[in-house]
Amino acid sequence: MLDELSQIEQNALIALKEIAQETELEQWHVTFLGRNSPLMRVFDQLGSLPKEERPAIGRKANEVKNTLEKAFSQTQERLHQIAIEQALQSEVSDISLPGRKVARGRLHPLTQTLRQISAIFAEMGFQVYRSRDVETDEYNFQLLNFPPHHPAREMQDSFYLDLPHSPDNPILLRTHTSPGQIRAMREFAALNPADPPPVRIILPGMCARYEQITARSEIQFQQVEGLAVGKSITFSDLKGTLTDFARRMFGGSVQSRFRASHFPFTEPSAEMDIECFVCGGVGCAVCKRSGWLEILGCGMVHPVVLQNGGYDPQVYSGFAFGMGIERIAMLRYGIEDIRYFYSNDIRFLEQFV
């Protein structure tokens, strides 16, 4: 019986050496360690053996069983390792290749420019006020002191909406952010009508004008409006604020100038230019030989507008300004055509990290 056990062990280990696949290994386990295997039959027979033989045979049978089980699990581990290596080799991957670039999103150049403008005014104490994109004729024109037959109110210049509304106060896409001046002043004044609080805000937002689309003008564009109202605000405050803004936006040494202009809602009115940074003021194609680039319109808030906003023009004064964000971004990045901003061409947008 002891010889038989040795034979069983030898046979099993030889058979195990030849196994090359995990499925064959299962079959081996059935054959040599399974319920009906010769080894298990030895265990079954133990009881019927003469008493004195039992301990030695039992011990030997246990040894063989342990040896085979150990050999089995070692082989199992080895085959598993081989299977993994084969799987890796059969995959066509070259780990020495450089990785693929992950395409990263970035902020639109207009968003970046608006953020920079907002940050500069925030440092000067201006809060951001959001006004509506869709306005009434009343807010967009009438309350801003536009005379009834001002050309800006013509159908050719504004997008009127075909919505039921009173005929003398139609609804339109705002043509500038200035109607937000009235909405903001009215909201602030309502806080304390007898003595309205001072206002210091910027109002960014989308505007639309029904115009020919060219390299210099789009039918949709963004503006940032600024408004400061208080008890002793002067034109010097306007000049100081905007000159400081231009230096922070375009560089500390930038030259600027104010030119008299006209807007119905400011008096006096001005336009602000900065020295052309392409030619340094000598005159070139970008500045149309003038040496200056216009960046914004501004002025002292018209008394009628203060009144319409709930601020007594005898007590209060203020300044306002409005700039096109596209224009600022074009100057800052040297972009020649405004249409790039809204054409969603990834090759253009990718350049603004």
> By CB under 6 A, which span of 243-251, 309-317, 319-327, 341-349 interacts with ligand PHE?
319-327
Name the residue nearer to ligand PHE (CB basis): 42 or 305: 305
The 8-class DSSP code of residue 203 comes to: E
What is the nearest approach in angstroms of ligand PHE to the Cβ of residue 102? Answer: 41
Among 172, 276, 298, 300, binds ligand PHE (CB under 6 A): 298
Amino acid of residue 21? Q
Query: Which residue has 């375009």 as its token pair?
Result: 250
Q: Which residue shows structure tokens 């003008």?
A: 217
Across the chain, which distance is largest between two alpha carbons, in Å? Answer: 127
Burial of 43 (0-12, 13-18, 19+ CB in 10 A): middle
139 vs 321, which CB is nearer to ligand PHE? 321
Sketch the per residue contact string, 174 through 193, with ligand PHE: x for CB under 6 A, - otherwise.
Answer: --x-x---------------
Total site size for ligand PHE, rule CB under 6 A: 11
The residue among 60 and 176 lying less far from ligand PHE, judged by its C-beta, is 176
| Residue (245 or 321) nearer to ligand PHE, CB | 321
Angle formed by the axes of helices 38-45 and 22-33, to 10°? 20
Helices 235-250 and 325-333, interaxial angle, to 10°? 40
Bridge partner residues of 307 (DSSP): none
Q: Whole-number minimum distance, CB 94 to ligand PHE, in Å?
A: 58
DSSP 8-state class, residue 131: -
Residue from 126, 129, 263, 341 in contact with ligand PHE (CB under 6 A): 263
Length of the chain: 353
Question: Can residue 309 be called a binding residue for ligand PHE (CB under 6 A)?
Answer: no
**What are the Cα distances from residue 275, in Å, to 45, 205, 255?**
109, 27, 5
CA-wise closest residue to 281 among 293, 270, 296: 293
CB of 141 to ligand PHE, least distance (A): 11
- Closest CB to ligand PHE among residues 298, 328: 298
Sole window of 97-105, 129-137, 318-326, 339-347 interacting with ligand PHE (rule: CB under 6 A):
318-326
Identify which of residues 69 and 211 has a Cβ nearer to ligand PHE in the complex: 211
Task: Decide if residue 266 touches ligand PHE (CB under 6 A).
Answer: yes
Nearer to ligand PHE, 113 or 181 (CB): 181
Beta carbons of 338 and 218 less than 8 angstroms apart: yes
Contacting ligand PHE within 321-350 (CB under 6 A): 321-322
Tell which phi-psi region holds residue 114, choosing left (phi > 0), alpha (psi between -120 and 50) or beta. Answer: alpha
Binding residues for ligand PHE, per CB under 6 A? 176, 178, 225, 263, 266, 297-299, 320-322
